[in-house]
Amino acid sequence: MTEGALWQFREGERKREKEREREERKREGEREGRERERGREEEKKEGERRGREREGEEREGGERERKKGERGREREGERRGRGRERGRGKREGEERGRKEEGEREKEREREKEGEREGGERERERKREGEERERKREREEGERGGEK
């Protein structure tokens, strides 16, 4: 083998070795990715299991009295989704309820304010009416005095 041919052969070997290393890193990355995904799945399952255990403990620890609609809402939440998704509908409903309650409170305040203003308006009308009445009496008195 000549020097040039030997150099080409070694260069080819280096390239093949680099390619093998690149492939190995790629496979290693994929393997780590799968392991991370598996870990996430296991965490999720573990969280769900703990949640079910906690629910079981609550039930065993003396089930509290519930309102009629509460059980239905819980079942509805269970049907909608598992894990982190569970009960989101209920939570959104509570938030909506708080928001509506806040709006109702503001409306009540506006009504009270309106009543105050309404009371002031009533007093003002009464005052104006009395002033008109006095003025009329004064004018009639003056006219009466002229006659």
Amino acid identity, residue 72? G
Residues spanned by the domain of 20:
1-53
Q: Is residue 37 situated within a structural domain?
A: yes
Long-range contacts of 29-33 (CB under 8 A, 24+ apart): none
Q: Is residue 59 situated within a structural domain?
A: no
- How large is the greatest C-alpha to C-alpha distance in the chain, in angstroms? 150
Domain count, the chain: 1
Residue 24 near residue 32, CB atoms below 8 Å: no
Q: Is residue 38 situated within a structural domain?
A: yes
What pTM does this model have? Answer: 0.30
3 state DSSP class of 61: coil
pLDDT digit of tens for each residue in the chain (147 aa)? 899 999 999 999 999 999 999 999 999 999 999 999 999 999 999 999 888 888 776 665 555 555 556 666 666 555 555 555 555 666 777 777 888 888 888 888 888 877 777 778 888 889 999 999 999 998 888 887 655
Q: Is residue 26 situated within a structural domain?
A: yes
